[in-house]
């Protein structure tokens, strides 16, 4: 390894140079201000590098004592602003400063150094911002504006700076310091709460199976020196010395491999890399660390083989193999606890990506968010506080935001279905009315008028208020009056009543024809026939025209045999305003809503299903966005289709019950991968 003096010198020069460039890009042209900034960076760096190993704020207290003693009202505003900048820089997951800082801890031989004490951490930058404010003679508002520009550039360029620092330290052969082991309040290693007795799951079974396979050839002495936390009821039991040394060595090797894998992943086309196995580390067989690593290798191999996830998402999940391995080594409940936060996080990452096309690129917002989340998980798992709850909350927010966005994008398609089904319901109601009314028409001219002209009037009436509305009642009563008016009137009273009603009846008929915009010339032949029939009725004469023929246009129910044993479903495309919906409906009268029993799927489920339009094997995966209140029609949607699918509820239910369709949003990727791995091992 190179002399630490020269490594520190080169790192400081790079640190100063890149940060001075950032300051100049922010608009600072005064050489005195730049010099003060660089000098403060160097002074803070050296003070932290040469300080005695101390805990907490004590080590850096002297750095800010002079500033605190001179603080006025303006300085208080600057203090608040600089602290805000520092907090946001810490929260920026793109700034992976921990890699370079771990190597710097090795360089300085300071394994217990905190991030605040690190000479190439954010503390020197904070002091440098204060130096700029002290040397700048502008007003407070101008200083605050300058800090705004500096923060913007720091957020943008610090990731590159720490990447350069890490590469420089790596070239010098400086290894990363072992990641500190999480400590409990009394100084011992914190043990997770024990899980319930008798818990079994696929991962436990897989872990045990690999352990049994390795047991035959495992060296007993190596097994005794295994890399694992000691068993026992004492939650603060310390690691034995041998295990601690081996654990630190393995952790350092894993960290180096992790950095290499991340670098390669960032330069590839998104293809998931081969999972890391014990052979890659030349670990002795049979040790718990070896078994844990090979168990997770099979898990991740199964995940990488999943047909439901794009390669970019598999790669994002693959970034967590080494952090999870460290968890499995340190946490004895990892394999037994089915609700372990790390396992739950993998499951929810897969849930967040459901429905993405196989060729989704890493620039997709969901993929970008998952990569960022995976990096944040790695950082969190490497820290002393490895609580994943905030990141799980972020993941749930990502899932909720995406589902809400898709539901909103599906709204125009629900409008297409709603309008279509309203028209179809109106047609059905009008046809039922015709079926009841037509037998009363004893004259072919009247029957033809009902079928060809008044049926559309009834459809419009139904669309404008339904079968209980005023338009429907008035239109139906008009035809009842028409049929009564052409019956023979044999008494003076009947003839007088007909004569009185005729003007209003003619007016109501013309109103209905006006709805259809039928020209006067086209309605005249029927009105002439109607006048002749009424004249005969006034004379008490029987109808001389031929009686109406049976309705030849009535639909003939389709036999189930006509579909070669398949249910009588029909798929067609409906469209409105450039929005297309593949509408899968019944060719015969559909069963009542929920006739098949309690529905399996619910709104918000992601469903992998078969499009029932004769395209055998055509499968889609979409979000169950909406259900029609009247018909129960289910609307499924995914933005990659270019259309939506509206499916009869009993068809969707039938596919789910038969296994042709499945609800994929309820899946548990991690556990399903364990089951696949077990199957490969030939385990039951």
pLDDT in tens, 78-96: 888 888 898 888 878 778 7
CA–CA distance, 609 with 660 (Å, rounded to integer): 6
- For the stretch 551-563, pLDDT in tens is 544 443 333 333 3
Residue 77: what pLDDT? Answer: 76
Q: What is the mean pLDDT of residues 102-125?
A: 87
In a domain, 65, yes or no: yes
What is the predicted pLDDT for the residue at 128? 93
Same domain? For 420 and 402 the reply is: no
Residue 227, pLDDT score: 38
Three-state DSSP at 639 gives coil
Identify whether 134 is part of a domain. yes
pLDDT reading at 218 higher than 50: no
Q: Are residues 156 and 209 in the same domain?
A: no
Average pLDDT, rounded, for the chain = 78
Domain interval for residue 462: 413-538
Higher pLDDT, 205 or 149: 149
Q: What is the pLDDT of residue 507?
A: 92
Q: SS3 letters for 343-404? A: HHHHHHHHHHCCCCCCCCCCCCHHHHHHHHHHHHHHHHHHCCCCCCHHHHHHHHHHHHHHHH
Which residues, at least 6 apart from 249, have a Cβ–Cβ distance to it below 8 Å?
Answer: 178
Average pLDDT over residues 3-25: 91
The CA-atom distances, in angstroms, between 496 and each of 228, 541, 542 are: 107, 16, 18
**290 vs 192: which has the higher pLDDT:** 290
E strand or H helix at 347: helix 341-352
Among 43-52, 415-424, 610-619, whose mean pLDDT is lowest? 610-619
Same domain, 63 and 136: yes
Buried b / exposed e along 341-353 (16+ C-beta atoms within 10 A):
bbbbbbbbbbbbb
Q: Quick one: average pLDDT of 522-541?
A: 84
Q: Which residue has the higher pLDDT, 118 or 678?
A: 118
Q: Are residues 30 and 144 in the same domain?
A: yes
Chain CA centroid to CA 606, Å? 10
Residues 251 and 389 in one domain: yes
pLDDT tens digits, 256-265: 666 665 555 5
Same domain, 27 and 130: yes
Two tokens at 221? 């002495």
Number of domains in the chain: 4
Check residue 222 and give its pLDDT. 36
Which of 182, 192, 194, 183 is closest to 381 using CA atoms? 182
Sheet holding 644-647, edge to edge: 569-576, 579-586, 644-647, 634-637, 619-627, 606-610, 662-663
Average pLDDT over residues 222-246: 39
Using the predicted structure, report yes or no on whether residue 644 has a pLDDT greater than 90: yes
How many CA atoms lie within 13 Å of 351's alpha carbon, on the beta-carbon side? 23
Question: Are 498 and 646 within one domain?
Answer: no
Tell me what the mean pLDDT of segment 357-386 comes to: 86
Question: Given a cut of 90, is residue 610 above it in pLDDT?
Answer: no
What pLDDT, on the 0 to 100 scale, is given for residue 275? 79
When comparing pLDDT for 114 and 49, which is higher?
49
User: What sign results for the dihedral spanned by CA atoms 395, 397, 398, 399?
Assistant: positive
Domain finish residue from 171, 194, 227: 171
Name the most confidently modeled range: 203-217, 298-312, 409-423.
409-423
Q: What is the predicted pLDDT for the residue at 652?
A: 87
- Decide if pLDDT at 614 tops 70: no
Could you count the other beta carbons within 10 Å of the beta carbon of residue 642?
8
- Same domain for 445 and 384? no
Quick: pLDDT tens for 141-197: 899 999 999 999 999 899 989 989 988 998 888 887 765 433 333 333 333 333 333
Measured over the CA atoms of residue 641, residue 646, residue 649 and residue 654, the dihedral's sign is negative
The verdict on 120 and 37 lying in the same domain is yes
Q: pLDDT at residue 564 above 50?
A: no
Residue 214 pLDDT: 62
What per-residue confidence (pLDDT) applies to 544? 53
Encode pLDDT of 431-455 as tens digits.
999 999 999 888 888 999 999 999 9
Are 367 and 431 part of one and the same domain? no
Q: Which of 230-234, 388-392, 679-683 has the lowest mean pLDDT?
A: 230-234
Q: Is residue 608 part of a domain?
A: yes
User: Is 271 part of a structural domain of the chain?
Assistant: no
- Say whether both 476 and 459 belong to one domain: yes
pLDDT of residue 224: 36
Has residue 557 been placed in a domain? no
Same domain, 288 and 418: no
Determine contact, residues 71/137, Cβ cutoff 8 Å. Answer: no
In the prediction, which pLDDT does 136 show?
A: 84
In the predicted structure, residue 377 carries a pLDDT above the cut 60:
yes
Token pair of 670 as six digits:
């991690």
- Asked whether residue 375 is domain-assigned, the answer is yes
Q: Is the pLDDT of residue 353 over 90?
A: yes
Determine the average pLDDT of the residues in 311-332: 84
């Amino acid at each position: 390894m190179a002399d630490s003096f020269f490594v520190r010198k080169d790192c400081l020069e790079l640190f100063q140079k890149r940060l001075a460039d950032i300051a100049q890009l922010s608009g600072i042209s005064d050489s005195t201000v730049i010099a003060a900034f660089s000098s403060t960076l160097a002074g803070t760096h050296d003070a932290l590098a040469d300080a005695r190993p101390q805990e907490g704020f004590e080590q850096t207290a002297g750095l800010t004592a002079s500033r605190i003693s001179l603080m006025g009202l303006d300085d208080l505003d600057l203090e608040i602003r600089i602290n805000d900048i520092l907090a946001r820089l810490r929260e920026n997951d793109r700034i992976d400063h921990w890699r370079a800082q771990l190597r710097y801890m090795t360089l300085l031989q300071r394994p217990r150094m905190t991030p605040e004490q690190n000479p190439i951490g954010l503390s020197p930058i904070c002091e440098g911002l204060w130096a700029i404010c002290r040397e700048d003679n502008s007003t407070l508002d101008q200083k605050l504006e300058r800090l705004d520009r500096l923060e913007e550039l720091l957020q943008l360029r610090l990731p590159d700076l720490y990447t350069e620092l890490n590469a420089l330290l790596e070239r010098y052969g400086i290894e990363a310091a072992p990641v500190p082991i999480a400590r409990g309040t009394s100084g011992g290693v914190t043990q997770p709460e024990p899980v319930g007795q008798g818990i079994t799951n696929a991962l436990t079974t897989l872990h045990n199976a690999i352990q049994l396979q390795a047991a035959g050839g495992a060296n007993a002495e190596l097994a005794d020196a295994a890399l694992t936390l000691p068993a026992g009821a004492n939650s603060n039991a310390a690691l034995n010395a041998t295990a601690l040394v081996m654990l630190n060595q393995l952790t350092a090797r894993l960290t180096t491999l992790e950095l290499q894998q991340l670098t390669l992943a960032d330069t590839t086309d998104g293809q998931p890399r081969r999972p890391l196995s014990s052979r890659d580390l030349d670990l002795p067989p049979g040790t718990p660390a070896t078994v844990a690593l090979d168990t997770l290798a099979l898990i991740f191999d199964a995940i990488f083989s999943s047909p439901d996830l794009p390669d970019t998402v598999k790669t994002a999940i693959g970034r967590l193999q080494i952090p999870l391995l460290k968890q499995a080594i340190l946490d004895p409940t990892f394999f037994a606890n089915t609700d372990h936060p790390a396992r739950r996080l993998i499951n929810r990452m897969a849930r967040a990506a459901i429905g993405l096309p196989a060729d989704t690129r890493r620039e997709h917002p969901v993929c970008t968010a998952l990569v960022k989340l995976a990096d944040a998980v790695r950082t969190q798992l490497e820290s002393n506080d490895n609580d994943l709850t905030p990141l799980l909350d972020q993941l749930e927010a990502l899932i909720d935001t995406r589902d809400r966005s898709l539901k909103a994008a599906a709204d125009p398609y629900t409008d297409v279905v709603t309008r279509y089904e309203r028209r179809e319901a109106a047609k059905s109601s009008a046809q039922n009315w015709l079926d009841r009314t037509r037998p009363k028409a004893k004259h072919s001219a009247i029957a033809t008028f009902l079928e060809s002209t008044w049926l559309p009037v009834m459809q419009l009436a139904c669309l404008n208020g339904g079968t209980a509305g005023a338009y429907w009642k008035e239109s139906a009563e008009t035809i009842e009056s028409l049929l009564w008016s052409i019956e023979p009137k044999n008494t003076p009273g009947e003839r007088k009543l007909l004569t009185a009603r005729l003007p209003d009846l003619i007016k109501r008929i013309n109103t209905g024809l006006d709805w259809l915009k039928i020209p006067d010339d086209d309605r005249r032949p029927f009105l002439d026939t109607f006048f002749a029939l009424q004249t005969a009725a006034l004379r008490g004469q029987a109808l001389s025209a031929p009686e109406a023929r049976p309705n030849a246009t009535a639909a003939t129910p389709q036999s189930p045999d006509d579909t070669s044993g398949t249910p009588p479903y029909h798929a067609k495309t409906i469209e409105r305003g450039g929005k297309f919906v593949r509408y899968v409906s019944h060719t015969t009268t559909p069963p009542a809503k929920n006739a098949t029993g309690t529905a399996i799927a619910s709104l918000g489920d992601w469903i992998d299903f078969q499009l029932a339009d004769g395209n055998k094997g055509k499968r889609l995966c979409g979000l169950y966005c909406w259900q029609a209140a009247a018909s129960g029609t289910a609307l499924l949607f995914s933005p990659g289709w270019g259309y939506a699918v509206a499916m009869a509820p009993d068809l969707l239910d039938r596919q789910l019950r038969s296994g042709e369709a499945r609800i994929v949003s309820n899946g548990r990727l991690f556990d399903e991968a364990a089951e696949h791995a077990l199957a490969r091992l030939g385990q039951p």
